[in-house]
A and B are shown apart, each in its own frame.
Chain A
């Protein structure tokens, strides 16, 4: 049944409060079960053998000695994962990425796997597998991969009728940029590089797989989308979807990296061959080498403006490396690059480019931070050139309701203008700065989306409520869903218990991506609760022996309407639940929805840094996030998302990068050498929540999980520039790069 999802501007009693998180106690006491925390009788240890080469032909794999080792129960190669994809190239790419076939395409690509009785035996068995490689030329740099003589990563990919590493070209925009640049008083052109970064989730990929001889299986796994994992794994392994039950564990961070299968089909294939459960847990080295980091990029930006600050034209050419398999990442960079602004003439052209690196996957507002770094850095340069305050310059050109977005559609009510006005008025902007200190600000955009969602709500005879959702809780959605259910039912938050169901217990739910969890499961929870309320009104009517039309629901109770029923005392949810065995049995609500109309999201960030001119070290002194949330259901979690995205962006801006050697091998696959920020690296990150309601959600909710990582790269770049007078065009802005820029400036280069 379709429901009206329009914003209703209702007044809230519970939504917007900050109760304790329902999963908090388990997490701080170690009782919460993550991907590696479940055990099955007779389980084996799985390990994967990975290519040490960036690009190599696999001439022969000899597993005979490993198979004979005592304690080894299964050894698999690509022969044990036959191609069942029926010409579906996307599925074949997933299969091949999980286990290389005739070629290893990057350092870390899986080539074989074993299941053994213990870790030691499994590791010993890997050493006994002999692989005859023929090393092939490789390319890991996005610009070099576009050259005509570059080694070809995927021979079936063609561009201009020739084999090429350019997998896709995307173009967006409107107007006439050439004419627009002709009208400009000032034009700035600049090129930028950003290095590859990993999501850096603390919990590695981990699963426990069990497939029986009857073809039925179970998978316990850390994932952002267990329904998607079920569908993909069943398809790759030739299983019936209904016969593979997938349970999502607690998740120790995902940020987009746990949206794809990386080794789960391998664990299932090992279990199928061994006829025993198999636990497979990636090492950190494997996480870096063989899961999905974000792209490295090379971006050219050109913006022209009149002296009064009106931008007359803007264009960008974006080159995103996708790893060894095509993705939509360049396209997303092109779509997001100019989305904050109302430009008459605008154009973005993006290239998705293949290299011998791991398959790229989403990282929180995928592709947008790199484009924003290039665009927002150039916006600052232009503001300086025309002598205008950078905030005023952005306000003058900001998109608003009715603006045609650079990627096509016309915006409804949006928050970029209000975030900029909030930045302008924020005390942070007026705080004094010291020597070698600088302040920067930048804007960011992300689409947000909804998708397929299914929710159950069951009322117990004691009046407590089990709310069952299917979107994995990556950022506190169980608390938000409980607040929404409490709001609708009119009962205390503490009487709701929200669970994430396994795939056998609920209809399909799309993966928790695109900042969709609270938007879409929130919508389904509202309608599931209202479904249950309808049933409770029926039960009350039955008990009172009146027509259901004479019953209304208020404050957690059924009320009989009208003078004729004025002698009937309200009947509480608890009383209706207690009577349910004799009024029709269990009381439940249900909803399935395709939640569209998620409402775009904007943020503006302010950052103060101090740069040590002797070492190039940058300390972030103060940081403020201003973002539109539509409606903050549980403000603590909204602030947490704002702070988390900013923290990740700060790490990426200043330190994080994949370093490849000339041999095409990753040089820093550990947290010692790939340095993510720790608490002592970060200031308290201040937050300002704006609430510009999404017209397509009953509560006005917009997603909040991703946009906060978009502005930091540029905000820090602008702050560094203002601190020491050098413009960094290469992320991360690590001490050696900043020091080099300072020395070049001093040398007059």
Chain B
């Protein structure tokens, strides 16, 4: 079981929940299950999100494995210049 923390701007889509317990082995599975529970997250994911797993930020690679007990954050997608 993972505890996923959400940054403030994404909490609108999770009825204000700041952290969510969920079972997932990859980022792809995590995002799918989050949308199953909070369908309004889909549009935010479509706009772009990033997932931090144990401190490493992943923007595109959905196949990243998530170790048991990992620190996981769902963040807005970051843009650079």
Contact = CB atoms under 8 A, between A and B. Distances in A.
20 contacts: A169-B8, A170-B8, A327-B79, A328-B79, A407-B7, A407-B75, A408-B75, A409-B54, A409-B55, A409-B71, A409-B75, A410-B54, A446-B80, A449-B78, A450-B59, A451-B60, A594-B60, A594-B61, A596-B58, A596-B59
Contacts of B75: 335, 407-409
A166 interface: no
Given A335-B78, A513-B79, A447 B71 contact: no
A126 interface: no
A378 interface: no
Contact of A331 (B54, B76, B81): B76
B59 A362 contact: no
B8 A514 contact: no
Given A170-B7, A365-B80, A407-B7, A447 B60 contact: no
A320 interface: no
Interface residues of B, number: 25
Given A170-B8, A171-B9, A409-B71, 11 more contacts: A171-B7, A332-B78, A335-B75, A362-B80, A410-B55, A447-B80, A449-B59, A451-B60, A596-B64, A597-B57, A597-B58
Contacts of B80: 256, 362, 365-366, 446-449, 513-516, 706
A192 interface: no
B52 interface: yes
Contacts of A257: 81
Interface in B44-76: 47, 52, 54-61, 63-64, 71, 73, 75-76
B71 A410 contact: yes
Interface residues of A, number: 47
B64 to A, nearest CB: 7
A514 B78 contact: yes
Contacts of A591: none
A412 B8 contact: no
Contacts of B79: 327-328, 332, 362, 366, 513-514
Interface in A229-270: 255-257, 259
Interface in B14-43: none
A32 B43 CA distance: 43
A255 B81 contact: yes
Contacts of B76: 170, 328, 331
A617 interface: no
B58 to A, nearest CB: 4
Contacts of A409: 52, 54-57, 71, 73, 75
A224 B58 CA distance: 22
Q: What is the predominant secondary structure among interface residues of chain B facing chain A?
A: loop
A642 interface: no
Nearest to B50: A449
Nearest to B63: A2
A199 B56 CA distance: 30
A168 B57 contact: no
B3 to A, nearest CB: 13
A516 B63 CA distance: 20
Interface string A501-538: 00000000000011110000000000000000000000
Interface in A443-498: 446-452
A513 to B, nearest CB: 4
Interface in A255-293: 255-257, 259
A171 B75 CA distance: 11
A34 interface: no
Nearest to B6: A408
Nearest to B78: A447
A255 B80 CA distance: 9
A452 B60 contact: yes
Given A259-B81, A706-B81, A412 B56 contact: yes
Contacts of B9: 168-171, 331
Nearest to B54: A410
A327 B81 CA distance: 13
Contacts of A169: 8-9
Interface in A414-461: 446-452
A481 to B, nearest CB: 19
A364 B54 CA distance: 27
Contacts of B56: 409, 412, 596-597, 696
A736 interface: no
A170 B75 CA distance: 11
Nearest to A413: B55
A327 B63 CA distance: 28
B25 to A, nearest CB: 16
A408 B78 CA distance: 13
Contacts of A585: none
Task: Name which of B58, B59, B71 has the most chain A CB atoms within 10 A of its CB.
Answer: B59
Contacts of A410: 54-55, 71
A393 interface: no
B51 to A, nearest CB: 10
A598 B57 CA distance: 8
Contacts of A514: 78-81
Contacts of A364: 81
A362 B77 CA distance: 14
B57 A449 contact: yes
A56 B8 CA distance: 35
Interface string A171-195: 1100000000000000000000000
A102 B51 CA distance: 39
A592 to B, nearest CB: 12
A674 interface: no
A450 to B, nearest CB: 8
A581 interface: no
Contacts of B59: 449-451, 596
B27 to A, nearest CB: 10
Nearest to A328: B79
A448 B78 CA distance: 9
Nearest to B8: A171
A92 interface: no
Contacts of A513: 79-81
A362 B5 CA distance: 27
Q: Which of A172, A349, A596, A706 has the largest number of chain B CB atoms within 10 A?
A: A596
Q: Which of A199, A335, A364, A447 has the most CB of B within 10 A?
A: A447
Given A594-B61, A596-B58, A597-B56, A408 B7 contact: yes
A658 interface: no
B6 to A, nearest CB: 9
Contacts of A597: 56-58
Given A408-B73, A409-B71, A596-B57, A172 B7 contact: yes
A412 B80 CA distance: 21
A660 interface: no
Contacts of A341: none
A408 B49 CA distance: 14
A699 interface: no
